Structure 1
Amino acid sequence: MDAVLSRTHLAHDIHGFLLPTLEAVSNAMHGLEARFGDRAASEGKIDIVFENANDPNKILISITDNGIGLNDENYKSFKTPFSGYKLKSKGRGFGRFIAFKVFSRIHYSSRYEFLTDRQTRTFRFDIYRDDELVFHDGDPDFTHVGLRVEYDSPLTPWHDLIRQIDQSTVSDIIASHFLPYFLYRWLPEITVQFNGGAPESVTTRFKDIFVEYDKGQVEVDIDGSVETIDYSLTRIPKTRSFKNHCLLFAAADRIVGKPRDLTNVLGEPHFTNENNENYIIIAVVRGEAFESRLNDSRTGINISPKAIERIVSAVSDVIQKGENTQIEKIKTSQSTDLNGALQENPILRLGLRGKSIAEYVSAKPNNWTAQQFVADLAIERYRASKDLTKAITTAAASPENYAATIKDIVSKIDQNNKEALAEYVIHRKNVIELVEAARKYTSDAKHHPEEVIHDLIFRRFSDSATHDYFEHNLWLIDDALAFLPYVSSDRTIHGGKRSKGDKVADLALFDDSLVLGDNDGTTVTIVEFKKPSRDDYVFGPEKTDPVTQVVETLEKAVRAGGVTRTDGTHMSFSGVIRRFGYIVADLTPSLVKVLKKHDFLNDQNPKIFFRYRDNEKIFIQAIGYDTLVENAKKRNQAFFTVLLGE
């Protein structure tokens, strides 16, 4: 028995200290039921008395009942650990040994009936002696049939805790430990008395509080076997001892183990009713699966943490359905908070993936704060643009560094709830650095093709029907381009395979005009990318003259009257067409020569050539990659300074 006891661990708290008392009360109930049967609730009585309650050297706790007493059958069972008699009453015959984890002196006294006579037994119980039972000649200090158990001389580790104990806490713990009796069994009159004061009836205090308002069953996978679990729910006022929603496991008609806090699942530690009164929900679960897995000391149930999670989840779902009004209040509050966060960080809307705020919030935990939603949406935003991220890292001269940067960003957002705007500014800064890297020589002393930078700005062979605002980097050219309603990248006007005569622009951007309420016009913008450092341009032919290429491509788009999107729908051009063109290429001598032959000017900015062609009614700008990067840095420098300290 010493070995079994040494493997039994009690929590070093008030509940752990009171566990021997709770075991004595449980045994007393069995004695009451054995004596009175169905009348145990009305005729049974258990008195718990604390003398010198806060003095570790003098404290005495007694538990007295008017049950059947320690008759011959019970006495025989008492001397036999793990007896069949106790098993019939869902016991283990081990509970009385728990007392030696807390006290060094335990005393039993009993009056019981034998035929027509009343007899007594009084002895000290000490498992550390060869003769465990030391009998006394004196009679019990009570005259009725029943049993008294007395504990004193507590072990030193409990002394500090004893100095803090109070009657109200003891009553709360007794009531919660035997909550199953309140909800779905019977309960005798149980009183608690401290230091000679007036006894308090635990039964009377809690019988109108611990009332079952719902019950049912759920099926849960417990360690590979589907088990039926019974649940009972009660609503009680929030108090010092009952502060938050919780789930309790019951076996052998008592609560076993620590409560499982449901605050995180339900979203609030307590709810508030229409009278502005705070209340909590306590769920009690029980079933044969728990009885068969109850440990010998009845301090725990041997099931895996994953099984516990599944039980908590299943019962929490039941609670949430019953508390729908409360859950809706939580979700409404979350939606309001998230909406405010998105107004400050509109970039994160991409993480919603087309869902409304209410739809998104409904699928997330009830206890999430605005910061947690921001962190989640930031990560979702990255997942939504993972294809672009792959293209960027492929284009980088040192892709490992960028991948590490992305991981670092996500980690910081998740751990420190970084503001999403800062995240996007960091993203822009990295993209600018990648463009600069793409302009440099590769390992074989060659320049990257223009496709590398093209993919950085907008993925080739795609359009904005499949790529949202935050999935491209058109802001590198001009922030205004990023907001155009349709972009086609390296695709034919008809949307099919390229055939002879097709004009394919690197980027074609189309905008239904909303200027001054003018809703009958369309803006068309063509962007052509050229290989960095290319210097073999020739005036005239479309293949060697980027100006001719822009004009011809734009004219064909206009003549086509519209463009077919990747999703198969057709976008028509209507009304007056405003035409713009961009040539993005390094301003090498041969390109400058071609531009000047086309009468381009650079008097406003030596690094940008431009011309408005009257006949075609098109305004074209030619801009070098160095200027592209420089201007992008200037437009974003304010953010880099404020958010990154640069």
Structure 2
Amino acid sequence: MDLPVQNIVSEIDLKPSDALLPLFETIVNAIISLKQTKDMMRQDRMITIQIYRGESSSVLNFSGNKTISSIKVIDNGEGFTDENLKSYRTAYTHKNKKDFGCKGIGRFTILAAFNEIRITSNYKQKNKWRFRELMLDPINEVTVLKEQDSDEPMRQTTVQLAGCHNQSIKDYTALSINEIAESIMEHCLIYFLCNDLPIIKIIEIESEESTIVNDLYQQVSKERERQFSIGKNIFDCYIIKTAKVHNRKNHYIHYCANSRVVGIGKNISKVNSIFSYPIIDNGRPYYLDVYVVSEYLNKKVYNSRNGFSIPQENENGFLNNDGLISFDQIEENIAKLLVSEYDEFVKATQDRNIKELKNYIQINAPRYRRFLNREDFLNSIPPNLPDDKKEEALYKIAFNEKRKIDQKIQGFIDKSEINKDSIEIIKNELIEKAAYDSDSLSEYMIQRKAIIDLFKRFLEADQHGKYRLEEDIHNLIFPRGVTGREINYESHNLWLLDERFATYTFIASDMPITAFSENKSRKEPDLLLADSPPMFNNPICFAPELSGEISSMVIFEFKRPGEIAHQKNKSDYRWEYSHLIEKYFDEFLYGDNKKNYRGSHVMVRKETPKFGFVIVDAIPERLEAYNEGKGYRKTPFGSFYKIYPELNLHIEVLRFYQLIEAVEKRHTPFFDKLFAV
């Protein structure tokens, strides 16, 4: 050879996706040989492929197929005539470039995967039958082993790819005969479209299984041929419609060069998400394969024919200036072409997507309800998205639209142009802004509804008759063992008790009093709240007063659902509700040392407004009667209260269901508006 074969082969880098590329190169060479055979009818052209298996794949393979060790490709084409042998000895020959797009390096691609190529050829030369045997390997290059006259008056060439050695692709040759046939069908489709495809038969030597590749084309419908241009470059598109079989889930674009498919197909849904579903024709699902052919692709294909020197993106607009084209440009044109060709399918897909998005908004994301009548926004969201991606897309639209409105309003403010028209414009923008700003409020109310529903579930017995622990209820309202300085407003649910309590500046939850005061008591009120107090700098609260006197104090005590509150003796109901909570107030009123860790005095006086709430699940009639005799009064809502004027202390007792009922009534107008269909 004119160039060292070993040097050429070493430059070829094959990827796992190129596992069958050496076979494809051999088949295409056989097809070209058959096309050059002038005295043969098209129906007599034949290629037989014999597959020889080797070891098991080292890559996880559930099919159990073994890897390919060797391949034989047999055809009845022109064969290794003197002229073809001369071409075979020369790298980068131009013999078949003009008519067949050959680059003269296919055999080197084969040697990048196999140890050697062994060839026997019975051919006709000047009306005389001849036989030739040769071998090609990277070290010895082309070696003619035998040349002689032949007694066999028939054309037959056998090309054997012997000893697959490239581990990068070898493990990925563990394909079934049907998978190999489908890959050949896709790679050689251009020949089928041009009516140049011979009969191709595949035989598994070990299992004796066989299949005819041409039979697969019966599933293919040559749907349409279309064309588009980018600059001066023309691209032809062959659109093939294939019935949905096996587990196929996508439409594909196949780029071709020199009558060959190059690389693997690209999922069309990645180009335009509308094509995420099969096309339905007469009730049957079909997928599209778009084969793209262009002289531009012929020029840009790599010598190894496993890719193109074409960038994916058009960066900074430089490509057009240089006459270059990106894949993004090509695919944008293909997408437009398909949308135009399959407009009914596109419309049906868009309608289905909009219906799914509206349903998602109404049920799961009412904060985006203003989009229900904005189909222009909804059409910009890809179809077939999971709920988390729907949420992401809707949020992105809302964020971008709100930002545009904010920029318009700021622009108006910066210009300071006030007239009738500008006032009307800004008024409309402010209305739009209010709609977007309401999203955060809607989201917050949705969270509240979920918390209310969870609270109700916590109060119910499970399938075993067991109730939630007191601490579960406690943690839902306010986490145990922390103060309001440690968590923010969004992290607790004090609004379940009363909206006013959410504004208290100090909140301590299920902590010993000594944890936030030098009072040595180990008593632990379930929830303590102080309104605008200076009282605890360590950290509890801040207020204008410097004396340490607090404005008001609230303490909650929760009792486990399913039990009678504080009932030590199950048959003794002679105790007051106040026993559950007044001990905590006593610690602040009468404790010996009321200082915080910094030494500041804590001022809780008898005049300080104090509120105690006891939340229980059950109040037996005898307990109710006893407390009414002790001064507790029953409200029209079924709760009980008692006022201790001398201590400025108000104690209220209510059941969990009354708490839930009250919170639901407070929220009903909001929920009705938010979740109304």
Q: What TM-score bracket applies, with the shorter chain setting the length?
A: 0.5 to 0.7
In the alignment, what sits opposite 2:398?
Answer: 378
- Normalising by structure 2, we get a TM-score of 0.54
In the alignment, what sits opposite 2:535?
Answer: none
In the alignment, what sits opposite 2:199?
Answer: 189
The Cα offsets for residues 243-293 of structure 1, whole Å up to 9 and x where unpaired, read as: 410101111111012211112314344415255533210000111111122
In the alignment, what sits opposite 1:43?
Answer: 44
In the alignment, what sits opposite 1:262?
Answer: 268
Q: Work out the CA distance in 2 between the residues paired with 1:366 and 1:67.
A: 50
- Count matched residues: 406
In the alignment, what sits opposite 1:124?
Answer: 135
Q: Work out the CA distance in 2 between the residues paired with 1:137 and 1:157.
A: 35
Q: Pick from 161, 169, 174 the counterpart of residue 184 of structure 2.
A: 174
- Letter aligned with residue 336 of structure 2: D
Q: Pick from 3, 8, 19 the counterpart of residue 12 of structure 2.
A: 8
- Letter aligned with residue 104 of structure 2: G
The question of whether the paired residues in 2 share the 8 Å contact of 1:28 and 1:65 is answered with: yes
How far did residue 198 of structure 1 move?
A: 4.6
Give the direction of change, closer, same or farther, for the CA distance of 1:53–1:392 in structure 2 (3 Å limit).
farther
Q: Pick from 133, 143, 152 the counterpart of residue 143 of structure 2.
A: 133
Q: Pick from 329, 349, 354 the counterpart of residue 330 of structure 1.
A: 349
In the alignment, what sits opposite 2:542?
Answer: none
Q: Work out the CA distance in 1 between the residues paired with 2:436 and 2:89.
A: 82
What aligned pairs does 1:424-503 form with structure 2 within 5 A after superposition? 464-471=427-434
5+ residue gaps in structure 1? 395-450, 452-458, 480-634, 640-646
Q: Work out the CA distance in 2 between the residues paired with 1:198 and 1:83.
A: 38
The Cα offsets for residues 211-252 of structure 1, whole Å up to 9 and x where unpaired, read as: 3211111112xxxx4411111101102234754101011111
Give the direction of change, closer, same or farther, for the CA distance of 1:325–1:179 in structure 2 (3 Å limit).
same
- 3-state SS, counterpart of residue 52 of structure 1: strand
The question of whether the paired residues in 2 share the 8 Å contact of 1:169 and 1:241 is answered with: no
Q: Work out the CA distance in 2 between the residues paired with 1:331 and 1:71.
A: 59
Q: Does 1:299 align with 2:328?
A: no
Give the direction of change, closer, same or farther, for the CA distance of 1:78–1:235 in structure 2 (3 Å limit).
same
- 3-state SS, counterpart of residue 61 of structure 1: strand
Give the direction of change, closer, same or farther, for the CA distance of 1:118–1:367 in structure 2 (3 Å limit).
same
How far did residue 121 of structure 1 move?
A: 1.0
5+ residue gaps in structure 2? 57-65, 314-325, 417-421, 443-665, 671-677
Q: Work out the CA distance in 2 between the residues paired with 1:113 and 1:236.
A: 41
In the alignment, what sits opposite 1:311?
Answer: 330
- Normalising by structure 1, we get a TM-score of 0.56
Q: Pick from 19, 23, 34 the counterpart of residue 25 of structure 2.
A: 23
Q: Work out the CA distance in 2 between the residues paired with 1:275 and 1:179.
A: 25
- Letter aligned with residue 213 of structure 1: E
Comparing 155-164 with 232-241, greater Cα deviation is found at 155-164
Give the direction of change, closer, same or farther, for the CA distance of 1:137–1:366 in structure 2 (3 Å limit).
same
Comparing 184-193 with 279-288, greater Cα deviation is found at 184-193
Give the direction of change, closer, same or farther, for the CA distance of 1:162–1:469 in structure 2 (3 Å limit).
closer
What aligned pairs does 1:337-356 form with structure 2 within 5 A after superposition? 337-343=356-362, 345-348=365-368, 356=373
In the alignment, what sits opposite 1:238?
Answer: 244
The question of whether the paired residues in 2 share the 8 Å contact of 1:341 and 1:374 is answered with: no
Comparing 45-54 with 24-33, greater Cα deviation is found at 45-54
Give the direction of change, closer, same or farther, for the CA distance of 1:216–1:469 in structure 2 (3 Å limit).
closer
In the alignment, what sits opposite 1:564?
Answer: none
Give the direction of change, closer, same or farther, for the CA distance of 1:142–1:291 in structure 2 (3 Å limit).
farther
What aligned pairs does 1:536-547 form with structure 2 within 5 A after superposition? none
The question of whether the paired residues in 2 share the 8 Å contact of 1:338 and 1:373 is answered with: no
Comparing 114-123 with 274-283, greater Cα deviation is found at 274-283
- 3-state SS, counterpart of residue 267 of structure 1: helix
Q: Work out the CA distance in 2 between the residues paired with 1:474 and 1:192.
A: 66
Q: Does 1:66 align with 2:107?
A: no
The question of whether the paired residues in 1 share the 8 Å contact of 2:70 and 2:164 is answered with: no
Comparing 1-10 with 208-217, greater Cα deviation is found at 1-10
The question of whether the paired residues in 1 share the 8 Å contact of 2:398 and 2:436 is answered with: no
What aligned pairs does 1:593-632 form with structure 2 within 5 A after superposition? none
- Letter aligned with residue 161 of structure 2: Y
The Cα offsets for residues 436-467 of structure 1, whole Å up to 9 and x where unpaired, read as: xxxxxxxxxxxxxxx9xxxxxxx999763442
Q: Pick from 379, 386, 390 the counterpart of residue 362 of structure 1.
A: 379
- Letter aligned with residue 262 of structure 1: I
- Letter aligned with residue 43 of structure 1: D
Identity of aligned residues (%): 19
Q: Pick from 88, 92, 97 the counterpart of residue 103 of structure 2.
A: 92
How far did residue 165 of structure 1 move?
A: 2.1
Q: Work out the CA distance in 2 between the residues paired with 1:236 and 1:318.
A: 18
Comparing 109-118 with 301-310, greater Cα deviation is found at 301-310
Q: Work out the CA distance in 1 between the residues paired with 2:51 and 2:137.
A: 21
In the alignment, what sits opposite 1:282?
Answer: 289
What root-mean-square deviation, in Å, do the aligned CA atoms of Structure 1 and Structure 2 show?
3.7
- 3-state SS, counterpart of residue 235 of structure 2: strand
In the alignment, what sits opposite 2:162?
Answer: 152
- Letter aligned with residue 110 of structure 2: A
The question of whether the paired residues in 1 share the 8 Å contact of 2:280 and 2:286 is answered with: yes
The question of whether the paired residues in 2 share the 8 Å contact of 1:49 and 1:192 is answered with: yes
The question of whether the paired residues in 2 share the 8 Å contact of 1:107 and 1:124 is answered with: yes
